[in-house]
Structure 1
Amino acid sequence: MSSTESVDVPLHTPNRLQDLFNQVDRDNDGRVTYLELWQFLRYNRHGIPKNKVRKIHEKADRNDDETLCYEEFKHFVLDPETKIFDKYFNNYMKVLLPQKHQLAIKSRGLDTIDGAYEERYSCWPPKLCMIIISLVIIIFYIIDAAKAESNRFGPISWGLIYNPRRRKEVWRFLTYMFVHIGINHLLMNIIVQIFLGLPLEMVHKWWRILIVYLFGVLAGSLGSSIVDSHSYLAGASGGVYALMTAHIASVVINWKEMRYPLPQLLIFLILITADVGSSIYNRYVHEGASISYAAHFFGGLGGLLMGTIILDNIKVRNHEKIIKYVSICLISLLISVAVVYNAVAESHFPKQDV
């Protein structure tokens, strides 16, 4: 038999049945709900109508508690009338799982599931979070440009930009994300945040990505206010960098569930290093540039830490729990220090206008 050939994996093998159950049981609570069954089949492109999946689940639920335990699931899968699982499971073992991982079976199924992360990509319901934020930014820019009395800012921008002389207007630590200097600045951030944000939304849900994005914006302004205390801030770069490093966080916590984690990690590290390097160069070498590399750096740091805490971790391992706890401690410490320093170290900052 050549290395490219494959054979059917018999479903009656107990370990195979247990592995299939573990794949359907997304929250690992030992029970399979109707939604878990539907999501499992939907993510793996079986295209079974939702009402049909509900009828299948109701038929298998012999004690009418609206969930399937392992014994009910096993009886259901081995039912001769249920051919969909036999077809699916053999295809899954032959195509989605590399040969070396077919042998990595422990008491609760496969320890490593290559491609499980990629299987979670879903375009439905539509992923609108980053698109809506981008549209709001564009609308603000158009309104401001129409009302601007100079080449740079209009009334909206002056009310939202982070101004180091008006730090007591605390909304500015977030709202500077809506202000952009020029069309090139606007388009670059919009394009990057959509291309970075949508893939994350497809796996991790919109609300997680929104939290990461806004936290990156806040971390960028807080960090910049301390290490670059006289700089104004405009643009969504803090949030954009948070999305970029959130990809790194996602790779780290889902390393064994991804097909190609190392290339993805290297790509984002190279992009971040190159951009931070160019920002520092433009700030200190290129005459007239005023890019706040600090906002980029701290926005990225915020996205990395928050990402390891809040992004969906498909299979939680002990070292990933440690990473999460360390991130929680670091975030709590850094935000506390930044807020307290902004509140009490008045001499460090420019004289306030308000």
Structure 2
Amino acid sequence: MARIEPMESVGEMTPIPKWILVKAHEFWNRQDIKKDKKIPMQQVKESLLTEESDRMPNALVIELLHKADENEDGYLDYDEYMKFAEAASTRSRGRDTFSRAAMTIIPRNERTVEKRSYFQNYSCCPPPFFMVLATLVETGVFVYYMVDMGEPMKAAGPAPVYSPLIYHPRRRYECWRYLSYALIHSGYMHLINNLVVQFVLGIILEVVHGWWRIGTIYLSGVLFGALAQSISDPDSFLAGASAGVFSVEYAHLGNMLMNWSQMEFRWLQLVVIIVLSFSDVGFAVWDIYFNGNKTKTGHAAHLGGAIAGMTVGTYILRNFEKKKWEKYCWWASLLVYLVLIAVGIILSATLPVPGYFPYNDNAPIWQARMYYFEEKNRTH
């Protein structure tokens, strides 16, 4: 391949990044290394819409797919190609990081011109509604209870056990707590860990798949996480959005496995998720069986969130041409989740084991806060 000199400017004297032109030359060399032929536009488009586009800036792919055939003869020569490559390169900076991140979670056969253009021109309008709202509400609730308890913001605890939002083992009949506990966090590190994952992965998934899909996955993980934790550890309180975060994380894994052959960086993504999974499982095993001073981590809730993400995510995030076995997998995933939820609800309500669940606390909700501060004042 010939040595490539960086271009000086295009348009309003904007420097063109050398790496973009290098990628453009590499693409053309795979079509016509001598640079003396005209390539059918259909061939170019097929290459761009499949594996070739993994190596190309998104703005350049859009430019070529839309209007690279300047003289409208159905072919593309090297001069036409480089003209558009130079023009498109000025639009790649800043946008390309986001669009590349979005493309990694979309199967190659779903990367249409419309989707590419949407991500390239996305300006947070409309914003990723659900993840932004969840983040703001969770942060606001955390600050409110820190002020209400009169406690400084600590890395770990205390949690407002008197809150009508937290999952309370003696008030299981208040069914909203199986979802609302996700708004309560025990310490700022608990909150920050969840919010970081929500932003890094959840927002990109929401932009790609829509707020209602991600919201459904998130809440399904929160619900099943609470049921799993209440059955496995019936005396424990439960707080935090970790089950929802695990659900979103493992929904991406389910979507990636269903579209394995079409996913970009699939092995890297799989390795990252496997490492995180083994880390979570390893910590849970150590904490449950070997830690002399056990943490208050809801390991069953994390597992429940992951299972919900895999099952509900496989069902909801299907945006590709389904093969016959994939349709069966789709319905099976939905059925598994619904059965698990039904079993969890039945066991939580009617488990015939005397003394397994603590007796219900039927006192008015408002008294919980009063008792909390009375006890706090006595101990101080």
Which residue of the other structure, out of 30, 36, 39, is the alignment partner of 1:5? 30
Distance 1:235 1:318, change over 3 A: same
Which residue of the other structure, out of 259, 263, 266, is the alignment partner of 1:258? 263
| Secondary structure, counterpart of 1:159 in structure 2 | coil
Q: Which runs of 5+ in 2 are unaligned?
A: 3-25, 33-37, 51-57, 86-106, 152-156, 363-380
Q: Which moved more, 1:176-185 or 1:145-154?
A: 145-154
Which residue of the other structure, out of 238, 247, 269, is the alignment partner of 1:233? 238
Distance in 2 (alpha carbons) for counterparts of 1:81 and 1:342: 67
Q: Normalised by the size of structure 2, how large is the TM-score?
A: 0.65
| Secondary structure, counterpart of 1:314 in structure 2 | coil
> Given that residues 31 and 39 in structure 2 are in contact (C-alpha distance below 8 angstroms), is that contact kept between their aligned partners in structure 1?
no
The amino acid of 2:361's aligned partner reads: D
- 1:181: how far off? 0.6
- 1:19: how far off? 6.6
Distance in 1 (alpha carbons) for counterparts of 2:60 and 2:335: 35
> Given that residues 212 and 242 in structure 1 are in contact (C-alpha distance below 8 angstroms), is that contact kept between their aligned partners in structure 2?
yes
Distance 1:17 1:289, change over 3 A: closer
Distance 1:162 1:272, change over 3 A: same
Match of 1:292 in 2: 298
| Aligned: 1:116 with 2:117 | no
> Given that residues 247 and 305 in structure 2 are in contact (C-alpha distance below 8 angstroms), is that contact kept between their aligned partners in structure 1?
yes
Match of 1:144 in 2: 145
Distance 1:353 1:275, change over 3 A: same
Match of 2:172 in 1: 167
- 1:84: how far off? 11
Distance in 2 (alpha carbons) for counterparts of 1:84 and 1:283: 69
| Secondary structure, counterpart of 1:189 in structure 2 | helix
The amino acid of 1:181's aligned partner reads: S
The amino acid of 1:256's aligned partner reads: S
Match of 1:104 in 2: none
- 1:9: how far off? 4.1
| Secondary structure, counterpart of 2:235 in structure 1 | coil
> Given that residues 279 and 292 in structure 1 are in contact (C-alpha distance below 8 angstroms), is that contact kept between their aligned partners in structure 2?
no
Distance 1:121 1:252, change over 3 A: farther
Task: Give identity over the alignment, percent.
Answer: 30
Distance in 1 (alpha carbons) for counterparts of 2:189 and 2:245: 15
Distance in 2 (alpha carbons) for counterparts of 1:312 and 1:85: 34
Deviations 1:198-244 (A, max 9, x none): 12123211211111111110110011111222221110000010111
Distance in 2 (alpha carbons) for counterparts of 1:43 and 1:319: 36
The amino acid of 1:116's aligned partner reads: R
> Given that residues 159 and 187 in structure 2 are in contact (C-alpha distance below 8 angstroms), is that contact kept between their aligned partners in structure 1?
no
State the Cα RMSD in Å.
3.7
- 1:353: how far off? 0.8
Deviations 1:36-70 (A, max 9, x none): xxxxx99953499xxxx9xxxxxxxxxxxxxxxxx
Match of 1:352 in 2: 360
Match of 1:67 in 2: none
Which residue of the other structure, out of 157, 162, 186, is the alignment partner of 2:191? 186
The amino acid of 2:317's aligned partner reads: L
| Secondary structure, counterpart of 1:281 in structure 2 | helix
- Whose Rg is larger? 2
Match of 1:197 in 2: 202
Deviations 1:63-119 (A, max 9, x none): xxxxxxxxxxxxxx9xx988498669x98xxx9xxxxxxxxxxxxxxxx94683995
Distance 1:352 1:149, change over 3 A: farther
| Aligned: 1:176 with 2:178 | no
Match of 2:96 in 1: none
Deviations 1:299-344 (A, max 9, x none): 1100110000001432322222121111012112111111111221
Distance in 2 (alpha carbons) for counterparts of 1:305 and 1:191: 23
Distance 1:318 1:44, change over 3 A: farther
Q: Normalised by the size of structure 1, how large is the TM-score?
A: 0.69
Q: Which moved more, 1:121-130 or 1:251-260?
A: 121-130
Match of 2:321 in 1: 315
Match of 1:108 in 2: none
Match of 2:54 in 1: none
Distance in 2 (alpha carbons) for counterparts of 1:268 and 1:200: 15
